[in-house]
Amino acid sequence: MEQLKWKAFEDSRIDNIILVVGNNDIEYCRKEIAQKFKLEKVKAIVEGGKERYHSAFQGIKQADGAEYVLIHDGARPFITAEIINRTIEEVITHKACIVGVPTKDTIKMVDDKGFVYETPDRNKLWSIQTPQAFSYELILEAYNKLLSLPAVNLQNITDDAMVVEQMLHQPVKLVMGSYRNIKITTVEDLIIGNSFLEE
């Protein structure tokens, strides 16, 4: 699966790739991903941080001088160069955009006791994926503001778009993704992913 993801970025309009990984994985990623798959665009492999947003910030700092950055989850191996390129086109126009797909399921909002208190309009709900793309100056400013806050205020930050939404009140444009751009987090996800590979 690693080859699918990194090949997509290698084949896209992306200029440089920065891998943000655990300290113990730096050499593995260099040898078993960048060198093994001959990824010419991998320019840096850096250590991440304690939380997701710390890791994202490490990658952002390494991209100093870039005009735009795309941030992608390593757990989404089925990203395509076509989606990446469309995301690049949109971020040039809108400064902040995220990949996603319309939600198929009805979503319920539930209180602390497990009772439904609201059913949002499904037509307005999207499941958000990555990559998420931003102008470099915008995402850097947003993260600098975020990381100046007390840690207790950062617990509910789940993606990069939230950072620019909350820190800068920046409108974020949605880009159509793919229902195959799944996140591999459970055994069931692995089964689905393997069925994609078998095709």
Residue 67 has pLDDT above 60, yes or no: yes
Residue 176 has pLDDT above 80, yes or no: yes
Measured torsion, CA atoms of residues 5, 34, 59, 99, in degrees rounded to the nearest 10 = -10
**For the chain, where are the E strands, in sequence order?**
17-21, 42-47, 68-71, 96-102, 109-110, 116-118, 126-135, 173-176
Residue 35 has pLDDT above 60, yes or no: yes
**Which amino acid is present at 131?**
P
Residue 150: pLDDT band (50, 70, 90) is: confident
**pLDDT of amino acid 103:** 96
Question: How do the domains of the chain map onto residue ranges?
Answer: 2-198
Residue 120 has pLDDT above 60, yes or no: yes
Residue 6: pLDDT band (50, 70, 90) is: low
Residue 1 has pLDDT above 60, yes or no: no
**pLDDT of amino acid 121:** 96
Reported CATH class of domain 2-198: alpha beta
Q: Report if pTM > 0.85.
A: yes
Pair of tokens at residue 171: 């409108």
